[in-house]
Amino acid sequence: MSGPPSSATRREFLAAATGALATGAFPAAQALGEAAPPTRGKAEHCIFVWLGGGMSQVDTFDPKRLGDAKAKTPGSAYEAIPTAVNGVRVSRHLHRTAALMDRITAVRTVHHEVIDEHAAATHRVHTGRPTTGTLMYPSLGSVVAHERGPAAEGVPAYVLIGYPNVSRGPGFLGPKSGYVYLTDTKAGPSGFALPADVTVERQASRERLLRTLRRQSATAAPVAEYDQTIEESLRLAGPKFTRVFQLDDEPALLRARYGGEFGQRCLLSRRLIEAGVRFIEVSHNLGFINGTGWDTHNQGQLKQHLLIEELDSALSALITDLEARGLLDRTLIVVGTEFGRPSQFDGGGGRGHQGAAFTLVLAGGGLRHRGAYGVTDDLCKKIVEDPVSIPDFHATVYATLGIDPAKSLAGGPRPVPITDGGRALKCLLV
């Protein structure tokens, strides 16, 4: 083990550094040991597609040799096909997406230690931190809402298309950084439409009464927060935001290209982006079309291809639609899931859980895409090159959206770093 530098070495270094500064050989910031300014992207919006249950990476974006469920031979369930990026292959059930992989990076070496518990793993991927009883951390969507706010007046910063959950919430950032949620793309958020017996005049009368009550009420923080919530609700109930949910305005051919209910959620996401919403999370497969969702134990594996094909239709339509409208470079698409699946088949022919190596996907956002990032071994059990932690992945999302992943958030009992030591994948940032 080498010892400390000698006096002569220190003197030589200082002399060289002084000369370099005098001649401008290297920047003063580097001489002082300051970190170079972080590279940040210019994306304005994010659509986060959530595949609850655990997408099998070996059957989708990180295919391996062909296995056999009946013979219990480990491997992928489907043949792999080439893509638009030389050397990058995906499942044959992603054939539409395969043609667009030059706009996509499948990050194949994501990892965390949570294996057996869906809720804990979902929390980890959404917040970037382990579950704790002392502090509720904000989700990815809430941090983006907090840092960037809505991109236009009259719309929320964060919309959740799916069921509400604490892991998707604002944590210590408070309700201002929370989400508006809906499960029905046709009806829009529950409670925003006026009841049939409340006319515009009656609503205006109610708002006048409310203003009178406000003037007479105390100015304590809880009252002020409640007033803020009421104001926000009234604003979002206006025609500008509610008009977004009229999907019948879209051409029939385009709606058909997006596909079924999940595809219509993705189409709605594009409309929300155009209206100025900053972050949208879209849950896939609320109806469990294969019987189990992405949690493909036992018999769920038999119809897993239906999930993959539905994802393929909607994701490819979303990418091409955004690109045709000049919005793809301004919109980061993320495909997330709580963990992956091992290449081995279980007793019922399905797959278990795997957090040691799995795939999350980035598309658009103005990134320097490469089809795939990171390498796993022959059966996707271990990471061979370029491991990516969940905090690293979060840092990449934040940096793409112009948010400094090294800054800290206020609102809790102490300042909290946005990520748990995450470092953005600079090779993807232009």
Judged by average pLDDT, the poorest of 79-83, 235-239, 418-422 is 235-239
Residue 20 has a pLDDT of 41
Instruction: Return all residues near 369 (Cβ < 8 A) that are at least 6 apart.
Output: 101, 102, 103, 104, 105, 362, 363, 428
Judged by average pLDDT, the poorest of 21-30, 192-201, 344-353 is 21-30
| CA angle, residues 179, 43, 183, in degrees to nearest 5 | 30
pLDDT in tens, 252-271: 999 999 999 999 999 999 99
pLDDT in tens, 285-335: 766 677 788 999 887 899 999 999 999 999 999 999 999 999 999 999 999
Output 199 or 255, whichever has higher pLDDT.
Answer: 255
- The mean of the pLDDT values for the chain is 86
Q: What is the pTM of this model?
A: 0.85
Output 129 or 194, whichever has higher pLDDT.
Answer: 129
Residue 389 has a pLDDT of 98
Cα–Cα distance, 154 to 180 (Å, whole number): 13
pLDDT in tens, 117-156: 999 999 999 999 998 878 899 999 999 999 999 999 989 9
74-81 average pLDDT score: 98
Class of domain 44-193+237-428: alpha beta
Say if residue 37's pLDDT is above 80. no
